[in-house]
Amino acid sequence: MRGSYSLIAATSVAALVLSACGGGGDEVSATSFDIAVSNATELYSIPWLVGKDQGFFEERGVTIGKIVPSKGGGTTIRNMLSGDLPMADVGFTSVLESSDADMPLTVVSGATQSVYGLDFYALDSNKQVRSIKDVRNWAYTNPQSVTQALSFMLPRVAGATQEIERTSSGGVGEGVALLEAGDVDVAVVPPSVAAKTGKFRMVVSSADYLDKFQQSVITTTPEFAEHHPDTVKAVVEGYAQAVQFIRDNPGRAAQLYADYIDIDTDAATDLVNKAVKYDNWGAGFDAEAIDQAVEAQRIAMDRKELKFCDLFQTTFLPKNVSSTLPAECE
């Protein structure tokens, strides 16, 4: 499984490099483009919605068009690699996979820096599973995913010692199906899904166990970063301003999100307030958040060594955000 995944990642990133270097890359506007966002119906989208609504990107000379959704980091990278999506808010573990295949992207900014939203739910009707220490069959999405690593990390942090059987569902939707069928005790249920139904009950709030975790990053190709540094800087600065706006105006952010995914405003407000509480978004680089994500990927890949330090470029970060990288990158 790992070999085929790495081959796909390598092929995809190679396509991106060719796209950015060749004629296709020249057709991409450096100041007006869509943005690819992993799981765009979830909380990842909110800073982009705010930035567009408040004009934070346009006032810096960049027009962000559509928020292009995908089902996960690898898919987001493939969307980005199609030739007309020069930047993306992509799962950090997918970037690590690409780097491991010796086809690194360039990480120009942080994005989602907590595991809030990657929470594990049981059916509300399942009265036997009330806490993490009751979980006997744990569904994660795919091998080498963050959710697989969390199925190991969270019980360890919580001091849960029971024997746990782990099941790869193949995706979030498939995990929910397994949960509804009674085949697993817990699975990831997206906040937008949980907000629309009363069928599920949260058993493991991941962010209660892991303070920081680099879930997603803003990335581009080394070529685009080199040839269009002002555009990259404008996007990062706009994102940073959007994050601050969310902290100062959670109600407006919640309304934008409620309208975007068609959920009740009160439910959206609750999600945004909790995300702010967990410091969910950040344009800067946080050493602890990056370290936790790298450790998770090492667990998921059963690897002790991962190349990742060369991925980061701090030159595009605003002065008012953190630029701290893990000690091994110094």
- On whether residue 125 sits in a domain, the answer given is no
**Among residues 179, 208, 237, which one ends one of the domains?**
208
Nearest CA-CA partner of 42 in 281, 282, 296, 287: 281
Task: Give me the DSSP letters along 271-282.
Answer: HHHHHHHTT-B-
CA 299, distance to chain mean position in Å, is 18
> What CATH number is given to the structural domain containing 78?
3.40.190.10
Query: What pLDDT, on the 0 to 100 scale, is given for residue 43?
Result: 95
- Range scoring the smallest mean pLDDT among 22-36, 53-67, 276-290: 22-36
Q: Are residues 193 and 319 in the same domain?
A: no
**Among residues 163, 187, 208, which one ends one of the domains?**
208
Q: Taken in order 69, 72, 78, 84, is the CA torsion positive or negative?
A: positive
Query: What pLDDT, on the 0 to 100 scale, is given for residue 9?
Result: 37
Host domain of residue 143: 135-208
For residues 91 and 85, the answer to whether their CB atoms sit within 8 Å is: no
What band does 300 get if pLDDT is binned at 50, 70 and 90? confident
Tokens representing 26?
A: 């020249």
Query: What pLDDT, on the 0 to 100 scale, is given for residue 7?
Result: 33
Q: Are residues 13 and 100 in the same domain?
A: yes
d(CA 242, CA 249): 10
List of long-range contacts for 74-78, beta carbons under 8 Å, 24+ apart: 74/5, 74/8, 74/9, 74/12, 75/38, 76/36, 76/37, 76/38, 77/9, 77/12, 77/13, 77/16, 77/105, 78/12
Query: What pLDDT, on the 0 to 100 scale, is given for residue 28?
Result: 56
Nearest CA-CA partner of 202 in 254, 260, 126: 126
Which pTM value belongs to this model?
A: 0.85
Q: Is the pLDDT of residue 306 over 90?
A: no
Angle between helices 287-301 and 146-158 (to 10 degrees): 100
**Among residues 175, 208, 241, which one ends one of the domains?**
208
Count of domains in the chain? 2
Mean pLDDT of 265-276: 96
Contacts of 71 (CB under 8 A, 6+ apart): 39, 171, 172
Mean pLDDT of 129-157: 92
Q: Are residues 18 and 80 in the same domain?
A: yes
